[in-house]
Amino acid sequence: MIWETVRLALRSVRRNALRSFLTLLGIVIGVAAVIAMLTIGSGTTQKVKADISQLGSNLLIVRSGRPAAPGSGPQQTIRPLGEKEVAALAAHLEGARAVSPASQKQVRVVFGTESLTSSITGTDNAYLDARDWKVTSGRSFSESEVRGGINACLIGETVRRQFFGAGDPDGASIRIGRMSCKVVGLLEPKGYSGFGQDQDNVVLMPLSAFQRRIAGNRDIETIYVAADDATPTQVVQTRIEDIMRDVRRVTADREDDFSVRDMTQIADAMASATATMTGMLGAVAGVSLLVGGIGIMNIMLVSVTERTREIGIRLAIGAHEKHILIQFLVEATVLSLLGGLIGIAIGLALAGAASLALSIPFVPSLAVVLLAVGFSALIGMVFGFFPALRGARLDPIEALRHE
Amino acid sequence: MSPAPLIVFDKVWKTYGQGEAEVRALAGIDLAIGQGEFVAIMGPSGSGKSTAMNIVGCLDTPTSGRYGFMGVDAGRLDRNRRAELRNLYIGFVFQGYNLLPRTTAVENVELPLIYRGVPAQDRRALAMKALAEVGLEDREHHTPAELSGGQQQRVAIARAIVTRPTLLVADEPTGNLDTARSHEIMQLLTRLNEEYGLTIVMVTHESDIAAYAGRTIAFRDGHVASDTKKLEAA
């Protein structure tokens, strides 16, 4: 009986192919949008997590300013980090594999006729160690380069490709702002981060050179600390906080004017930000599903009116109200389910294409797909109910007279 | 002496509207139709014959009085119970055929069986048998648009008898057909009446069509004006 009804509904959908298609469009767009959003969203989340775990879960990041959540309002005047914090951590911190200062700025880099805005980081060799970053050709900084603030550079893969193509960058001199800098090594490619940031569009140089020629001050933005494998990150974090309070003379009754966070905390914060974003976009897409549902209700009302005579015949030869109700409910459900299935296909295709373009993993979720199927069926039932009830309540005598 | 009649109208009134605008379609009809009778109902429009037919077919209920069908007080049943009654015991033939468009003959004939819950393969066999009885076994896959008026009415008759009903209600079954086709349809109905003892109640305007029936009831202004039985051929 139910299979009969489904077949009948499919036939009716096919008979009014164009009309059915236009009605479906609302559901198709809605479901496609939701599926694409959620799939891309979870791909991004996964990428963010993967990136950050690649950075190393034992990496700790020290910055100045109170350890408030990002976006929680303006901070008070910040006392920047400096040489003495780095020196103190390097001298007294136990259980750390690497302690490295780093400051960063976006600067235009020029070589020959080519130019590129790149992320310039002033740091030392410990940075490579802390971030687990290898030099694939050439060498890292020498002791004297770091100490003397010599203009020596390590460049990322994107910078190399832009300026040197297939050629060898070693020993070439590139312009960074108003200084020139000799390329001494090439960094291992890291690809895009979860936020679509090119991690290979970087130039590293000795911190003192950066401070003097680029930043124009002696501040340090970030101190990276890599805990060694034997010491839990949590323990190292506490030790860093103690040393920092001591160096910066933060008494027990005052709040810290610096923050120490490990990568898992940052990963969680970023993942939850991504999830919130995904949820919001999904909700917006969901509104179009509602509109699609109203479209279905509209077309089902038309269908019931058009087929008043058919309903009269069916009632006369013994159909119950519930038979008519079910017939039109199934038709509405089939219609919106069909829209849902097409929408899922399109949504997954869109998400797949986006994943390729943004180089994030493509993670279709069975749960999301099933949810979309269920939701589109539900929309058909909810919005098909009123028209179906109208059909079922028709008076057979009146309906038979209907032209 | 005779068995209990199939159809009993006991002071049946049917009124539409209220107060000044009240229209009396039926004004206290008393009537009995026995099992196996072939009855023609005649009368001008507005005489109440259509209203009477709707009540006979359990599509409508009296405003007052009692309508008995197969010993059941059908006038007091709700619409779903009456739908069951129609599905089990009553077949309908209409002037305009009322077949589902773009649906094949055999599927049209199967329709009442679907609401009876007959399994698909049994349905097909029963529908084919009914089509054979009206002489259309070779037209099973034709849609109404591909059939002539006479053929469409035969499909409608097959649909009406596929459930082996007790009563066939025919509302001007030859109204849209030419004379030759009309007489073919009437011969078919007569055969069904004689061979299966199918009770037929038929509304018609034409006296030569009514002549096929064994009994003719004329309606006028909501009353039975005349009720005549054809003399049995000795």
Contact A101, A222 (CB under 8 A): yes
| Residue B185 burial (C-beta neighbours within 10 Å; 0-12, 13-18, 19+) | buried
What does the pLDDT look like over A91-109, one tens digit per residue?
A: 888 888 889 999 999 999 9
Structurally, how many domains does chain A consist of? 2
Cβ(A299)–Cβ(B141) below 8 Å: no
Q: Is A310 on the interface with B (CB under 8 A)?
A: yes
Is B179 within 8 Å of B103 (Cβ atoms)?
no
**A292: helix, coil or strand?**
helix
Instruction: With respect to residue B224, please indicate whether it lies within any of the assigned structural domains.
Output: yes
How far off is chain B from A385, nearest CA to CA, in Å?
19
Q: Domain containing B116: what range?
A: 34-61+77-229
Residues A376, A339: contact at Cβ < 8 Å? yes
Same domain, A349 and A236: no
Asked if B83's CB is within 8 angstroms of A315's CB, the reply is yes
A318 and B83 in contact by Cβ < 8 A?
yes
Using a CB-CB cut-off of 8 Å, the residues of chain A touching B94 are: 400
| Residues across chain B | 234
A321 touches chain B (CB under 8 A): yes
- Does residue B181 fall inside a structural domain? yes
With b meaning 16 or more CB within 10 Å and e meaning fewer, what string describes B35-63? bbbbbbbbbeeebbbbbbbbbbbbbbbbe
For residue B57, give the nearest of B33, B13, B90 by alpha carbon.
B90
Name residue A114's beta-bridge partners.
Answer: A111
A250-255: Cβ within 8 A, 24+ apart = A255/A66
Instruction: Write down the pLDDT at residue B1.
Output: 43
B57 interaction partners in chain A (CB closer than 8 Å): 316
Instruction: Write the DSSP string, A193-252.
Output: -TTS-BTTSEEEEEHHHHIIIII-S--B-EEEEEEPTTS-HHHHHHHHHHHHHHHHT--T
Which residue from A15, A319, A397 is facing B115, i.e. has the nearest CB?
A319
Residue of A nearest to B109 (CA): A317
Chain B residues in contact with A325 (beta carbon < 8 A): none
pLDDT of residue A322: 93
CA–CA separation, A27 and B234 (whole Å): 73
A343: alpha, beta or left, given left = phi > 0 and alpha = psi -120 to 50?
alpha
Q: What's the mean per-residue pLDDT of chain A?
A: 87
Within a domain: residue B38? Answer: yes
pLDDT band with cut points at 50, 70 and 90 for residue A271: confident
On whether residue A98 sits in a domain, the answer given is yes
B88 Cα to chain A: minimum distance (Å) = 8
Q: Nearest residue of B to residue A327 by CA position?
A: B115
Compute the distance between CA of residue A212 and CA of residue A229 in angstroms, rounded to an integer: 35
- Compute the distance between CA of residue A335 and CA of residue A324 in angstroms, rounded to an integer: 17
Question: Which residues of chain A are within 8 Å of residue B102 when distances are taken between CB atoms?
Answer: 15
Indicate whether A164 and A127 sit together in one domain. Answer: yes
Q: Which of A116-120, A271-275, B83-87, B167-171 shows the lowest mean pLDDT across its residues?
A: A271-275
Q: What is the mean pLDDT of residues A20-27?
A: 90
B59, A318: Cβ pair inside 8 Å?
no
Is there a single domain that holds both residue A241 and residue A327?
no
CB neighbour class for B28 (10 Å; exposed up to 12, middle 13-18, buried from 19): middle
- Give the pLDDT confidence score for residue A55 in this predicted structure: 67
pLDDT band at A194 (very low <50, low <70, confident <90, very high): low
Pull the structure tokens for residue A59. 């990496």
What single string gives the DSSP state of each residue in B175-234?
Answer: TTS-HHHHHHHHHHHHHHHHHH--EEEEE-S-HHHHTTSSEEEEEETTEEEEEEEPPPP-
Quick check: A314 contacting B, CB < 8 Å?
yes
Please state the ipTM of this predicted complex. Answer: 0.94
Cβ count near A254 (within 10 Å) = 10
Question: Residue B219 and residue A41: Cα distance in Å, rounded?
Answer: 76
CB-CB under 8 Å, B83 with A397: no
Beta bridge partners of A104: A121
B93 contact partners, CB below 8 Å, separation of at least 6: B153, B156, B157, B160, B168, B169, B170, B171, B173
Residue B84 within any structural domain of the chain: yes
Domain limits at A164?
A: 80-256
The pLDDT tens digits for A35-68 are: 998 888 888 888 777 777 666 668 888 988 865 5
B203 within domain boundaries? yes
pLDDT tier for residue A257 given thresholds of 50, 70 and 90: confident
Q: Which residues in chain A have their CB less than 8 angstroms from residue B54's CB?
A: 397
Looking at beta carbons, which residues of chain A come within 8 Å of B79? 321
What DSSP state is assigned to residue A133? Answer: -
**Of the residues A225, A256, A287, the one at which a domain ends:** A256
Q: Which of B108, B214, B210 is nearest to A310 (CA)?
A: B108
CB-CB neighbors (< 8 A) of B86 in chain A: 316-318
Give yes or no: residues A236 and A339 share one domain.
Answer: no
Contact: A4, B92; criterion CB under 8 Å: no
Q: Give the gyration radius of chain A's Cα atoms.
A: 32
> In this structure, are residues B145 and B165 in contact, taking their beta carbons and an 8 Å threshold?
no
Buried b (16+ CB within 10 A) or exposed e, A160-199: bbbbbeeeebeebebebeeeebebbbbbeebebbbeeebb
B68 domain-assigned: no
A310: which chain B residues are within 8 Å (Cβ-Cβ)?
A: 100-101
Number of A to B CB contacts under 8 A, please give it.
55
| Contact between chains at B83 and A1 (C-beta distance less than 8 A) | no
Indicate whether A164 pLDDT > 70: yes
Residues 323-362 of A with CB under 8 A from B: 323
First to last CA, chain B: 22
Q: What is the reported pLDDT for B103?
A: 92
Query: A267 near A58, Cβ under 8 Å?
Result: no
What integer pLDDT is reported at residue B232 of this predicted model?
62
Residues A338 and A383 in one domain: yes
The whole-number average pLDDT for the span A189-213 is 84
Q: Is residue A232, in this structure, part of any structural domain at all?
A: yes
Check pLDDT > 60 for residue A176. yes
Low-confidence ranges of chain B (pLDDT < 50): 1, 233-234
> B38 pairs with which residues across the strands?
B200
pLDDT of residue B234: 39
A1·B98 Cβ contact <8 A: no
Nearest Cα to Cα of residue A83 among A101, A69, A71, A110? A101
Examine residue A262 and state whether it is found in any structural domain, yes or no: no
Determine the 3-state secondary structure of B92 from DSSP. Answer: strand
Out of A4-8, A68-72, A207-211, A396-400, least confident range:
A68-72
- CB of B66 closer than 8 Å to CB of B73: yes
Contact residues on chain A for B101, CB-CB shorter than 8 A? 310
- For residues A278 and A251, membership in a common domain is answered with no
Measured over the CA atoms of residue B74, residue B76, residue B81 and residue B82, the dihedral's sign is positive
By CA distance, what is B86's nearest residue in A? A318
Spell out the SS3 assignment of A58-93: CEEEEEECCCCCCCCCCCCCCCCECHHHHHHHHHHC
- The pLDDT tens digits of the residues spanning A203-254 come to 999 999 999 888 888 889 999 998 888 888 888 999 999 999 988 888 888 8
A309 touches chain B (CB under 8 A): yes
Domain of B178, CATH number, reads 3.40.50.300
The verdict on A228 and A341 lying in the same domain is no
A274 within domain boundaries:
yes
Q: How many domains does chain B have?
A: 1
Residues A125 and A243 in one domain: yes
Strand order in the sheet with B199-203: B90-93, B167-171, B199-203, B38-42, B215-220, B223-229
Whether residues A400 and B100 touch (CB distance < 8 A) is answered with no
Q: Is the dihedral of CA A132, A133, A136, A140 positive or negative?
A: negative
Q: Provide the chain A residues 382-401 that lie in CB contact (below 8 A) with chain B.
A: 396-397, 400
Binary contact (B102, A315; C-beta < 8 A): no
Task: Judge whether residue A78 has pLDDT over 60.
Answer: yes
CA distances from A75 to A58, A64, A143, A379 (A): 28, 11, 37, 48
- Between chains, do A318 and B57 touch, taking CB under 8 Å as contact? no
Do the domain assignments include residue A59?
no
Q: Which residues does chain B have within 8 Å of residue A15's beta carbon, measured at their own beta carbons? A: 102
From B57, B80, B98, residue closest to A313, measured CB to CB: B98
Task: Give the list of residues 6+ apart from residue A262 with CB closer than 8 angstroms, or none.
Answer: A57, A58, A59, A60, A61, A233, A234, A237
Q: Quick one: A19 and A156 in the same domain?
A: no
- Give B198 to chain A, closest Cα distance, Å: 17
Residue A59: name the closest of A264, A349, A277 by CA: A264
Chain B touched by A320 (CB under 8 Å): yes
- Closest Cα in chain B to A319: B115
